[in-house]
Amino acid sequence: MTGEARSVAPGAGESVALGGLGVVNKVAGAETGGAFAIVEHPLAPGALAGPPHTHEDEITLVLAGEIGI
């Protein structure tokens, strides 16, 4: 981890498909020494984000619209 600030634009980053869920890797865990990763999940209206699950170290931020939890 360099400690340098950077900006990653919406939609920018490595895009992959994960079972129908859009995934855009913004900051890879390898870039932070495994300390954290930042991933964007663009969701279409009415899309299911996945089955109910928990991760003790996961944070979700909704930047536009709303999502049911």
pLDDT at 14 over 70: yes
pLDDT tens string 20-51: 778 899 998 898 899 989 988 888 888 777 77
| pLDDT for the residue numbered 1 | 56
pLDDT at 52 over 70: yes
| pLDDT for the residue numbered 54 | 79
Six-digit token string for 43: 């969701």
Task: Give the strands of the sheet with 14-18, arranged side by side.
Answer: 14-18, 21-27, 38-40
| pLDDT for the residue numbered 3 | 72
